[in-house]
Structures are given as C-alpha cells and as structure tokens.
Amino acid sequence: MSVTTKSPVVLQVRDLACERDGRRLFEGLDFSLNAGGAIQIKGSNGAGKTTLLRTLIGSTSDFSGEILWRDKPFPRGLRSMRESLLYVGHRGGVRGGLTPLENLTWYGATEASAMEALDRLDLFGFEGSLCNSLSAGQNRRVALARLFLPQSPCLWILDEPLTALDVAGVAALEKQMANHLENGGSLLLTSHQPLNLPGLNFVDLSDFLVEESFSDMGGEHVFN
C-alpha cells in the first residue's frame, strides 16, 4: 500500500499481528493512511476486521508490531490520536435516554449544526423524541450524524457504517465521506457492501492470514 502523494502519512501500521483468544488472526500487516486518504478493510467473517479497528483505536493492547500516529509510535501516539479520532463501532454510542439532538450536543455540536446533521440523514422531526423509542436503523443514523457535524475530527474509523442504512442514507454518507477526504481528513472503515468513494484503497486481511502449519491443531505460537 504505497500511494505516493504529497499528503503526509497520518497512520502507519508496520508488521502488525493480532491475536484473539490465543488464536493468531493475521500477521505481517503493513499499510499507511494518508491525510485525505481512505482505506477499506476487507476480509471474511472472523478474519479480524473489528479486532484490527479496536487495536488501532487502542481498545485492546494484545498485538505485536508497530502502530504510528503522525510518526509517534503507540502507546505514546495513542493519546494525540484519540484527540483527533471519531470512531463509530457496532454499538453506535447513542444514549437511549437522550434525544438525538441531546446526543449530538453531547458530542460537541451546537444546536443548529446538530439539527442540520439530523436533517441530512432524514431524521427531521425525530430530534426531540428519546432514542429508546426510535428504531435500530434510526439509532444507527443518529450515531452516523456525528459525521455530518462541522469541525469533525480528522480521523474517522468506522466499523460497518453502511449496515441498516437505506439507499438515500448510503448516498448521503458517501457524499459526506468524499467531502471529509477533500478537506484533508482520513478514513478507515470496514464494510460488506461496496462503497462508491473516489480514491478508496483496500487492505484485504486474507492476504495476511497466518499460514497453516502441518499439525491439524494449529502451529506453535511465537509467544507461547
């Protein structure tokens, strides 16, 4: 993954190996993400896409290899990385006891910008009802409305953002992603659906699978 552009590298991964429940998911993973660049992580179910994202945001520390944020290696770089991170995981981070408007305000939006963001994801009219009473798809859109707020953090890490979105929602999201990249932001996401985004690069985790050893029970781990 060596895209030669003038834009600086923000996130770099060198020889990364992740492990879950004592099982190696992938190893020797190398890629770098530029400012204004977008990468989609591919891989079959259980290949470790979510684990990779969670490793990159520092939620799990069971990895070997190097992760650098603006040339600062983890865990030193983690803090400054989190200052400019917007992460939306499987669980959206939308409080059920709050309204969509209050949820967005919690994430630092002004009322006007929050209303506009909700409007763009077709949530107009729902801003005042509690998220508990909204559907799963609507809650998903409230979570993603964070992407439509002004002064968005420059690194977006999104885990399956397109699930439970309708066609119009996907189109709006794609447009906003392109907008974000144009402004010099970076994007890292997993998705099972194809994404229409200019300049999108791919990292396929199945290229970094751990080689099967002779034994049926799996090989000997490096760190046992």
DSSP, collapsed to helix, strand or coil, labels residue 80 as helix
> Of 37-45, 96-104, 166-174, 202-210, which part binds another protein (CB under 8 A)?
96-104
Q: Which residue has the tokens 């910008």?
A: 113
Of 4, 45, 91, 211, which one interacts with another protein (CB under 8 A)? 91
Place of tokens 């059920």: 96
Residue of the chain from 104, 185, 189, 203 that contacts another protein (CB under 8 A): 185
Residue 156, strand partner residues? 86, 187
Select the residue interacting with another protein from 151, 194, 211, 212 (CB under 8 A). Answer: 151
**In terms of CB distance, is 47 or 142 closer to another protein?**
142
15-to-30, 31, 128 alpha-carbon distances in Å: 5, 9, 47
Cα-Cα-Cα-Cα torsion 37, 51, 145, 34, nearest 10 degrees, comes to: -10
**Least distance between another protein and beta carbon 1 (Å):** 20
Distance CA 34, CA 187 (A): 9
At 200, list the tokens.
């999108």
Contact status: 96 vs another protein (CB under 8 A): yes
Residue 175 binds another protein, judged by CB under 8 A: no
- At position 93, the amino acid (one-letter code) is G
92 binds another protein per the rule CB under 8 A: yes
Smallest distance from the beta carbon of 73 to another protein, in angstroms?
10
Q: What gap in Å lies between CA 94 and CA 37, rounded to an integer?
A: 27
| Residue 10 neighbours by CB under 8 Å, 6+ apart | 33, 34, 35, 69, 70, 154, 155, 186
* Contact pattern from residue 118 through residue 147 relative to another protein, giving x for each residue in contact according to CB under 8 A and a dash for the rest: ------------x------------x----
Number of residues interacting with another protein: please give it, by CB under 8 A. 55
Least distance in angstroms from the C-beta of 142 to another protein:
10
Of 1, 3, 115, 154, the one binding another protein (CB under 8 A) is: 154
Measure the CA–CA gap between 117 and 110, rounded to whole angstroms.
Answer: 11
* Piece in contact with another protein (CB under 8 A), picked from 38-46, 87-95, 119-127, 169-177: 87-95
2 touching another protein, by CB under 8 A: no
Q: Which member of 57, 117, 118, 187 binds another protein (CB under 8 A)?
A: 57
